[in-house]
Amino acid sequence: MSLLVTGSIGIDTVKTPYGVSEECLGGSSVYFSMAASFFTPVRFVGVIGPDCPFDLAEVFAGRDVDLTGLEVRRQSKTFRWKGSYHDNMNDRRTDYIELNVLAEAPPTVPAEYKDSEFVFLANTAPALQIQLLQQVQDPFFVAADTMDCWIKDELDDLKQLLNKIDCLIINDGEARMLADVHNLIKAAEKILDMGPTVVIIKKGESGSMVCKAGGERFILPAYPASEVKDPTGAGDSFAGGFMGYLAQAGKTDFDSLKTAVAFGTVAASFTIADFSLAGLTSISKTDIDSRFETLREVTHF
């Protein structure tokens, strides 16, 4: 089934204890698409300025990523972000940010994308996410990401969005902030009451938790990775593996959700092994399937 993603395309500078990656390709829709393309064709919607130094057609060469929805705004500039990680790799600091095109009107969803059945609204202002979703006709399953600044400053818009989507993917700190409760089970239940039928709470190196309306729950640890160089894009790669598998399977029952979370976990484990997209571009679907089986084995008892 068709899968559409809309989100950021960025020029990133990332510093970790393992080095610095200057002016590298980043952005939520880029990481998502690279991960999702291992499973299913991806319809890509995003905006850049003429200053973007990356040829996305070349970046996605050999992968089934349709760039018809890529818009170049001649009078604008591409989103830029600079961040650094501390020794434990869990704490990230934003050192510099230029929203540029992300502060403007959202891109137009091409006519041939409007029938997309699976939709992922990557992290951006919830008002923009709503405007983008309104351009898609009757999708089967919609997931979205958000972050602390939107919870703090755009809560009313975010609550409107939650009533229009099926699944929210969020990290543990953001879940506690949104629900205003520390216990993650209670936080998930409060978020489910806000509208979505599925909530996925990411807990970094502690894995993830899936809660579905009706009481079904699933907890999965992170993949036991021996090398973590750059966590940037891990959450978007998780979402790409998750949504990519669901679109490939064409169903969203709880067993499918659990399998999708496992594939998302595996995709993220490759992303963190290197800077920018190198961890994903250096592997094949066989590598993902092999690591999926390893994850299955180490979590079986």
pLDDT of residue 125: 86
- Give residue-wise pLDDT tens across range 192-216: 999 999 999 999 888 999 999 999 9
The contacts of residue 167 (CB under 8 Å, 6+ apart) are 141, 142, 143, 144, 196, 197, 198, 199, 200
Strand order in the sheet with 198-202: 65-72, 42-48, 3-6, 118-121, 141-145, 167-171, 198-202, 208-212, 217-220
Report pLDDT for 213.
95
Domain ranges in the chain? 3-298
Report residues of the chain scoring pLDDT below 70: none
DSSP 253: -
Q: What is the reported pTM?
A: 0.95
Run of H or E residues at 16: strand 10-16
Show Cβ contacts of residue 284 under 8 Å, excluding neighbours closer than 6 positions: none
Burial class (CB in 10 A: 0-12, 13-18, 19+), 157: middle
At residue 233, the pLDDT reads 92
Please, what CATH class does the domain formed by 3-298 belong to? alpha beta
pLDDT value of residue 226:
82
SS3 258: helix
Cβ neighbours around 282 below 10 Å, total = 11
The interaxial angle of helices 254-271 and 234-249, nearest 10 deg, is 140
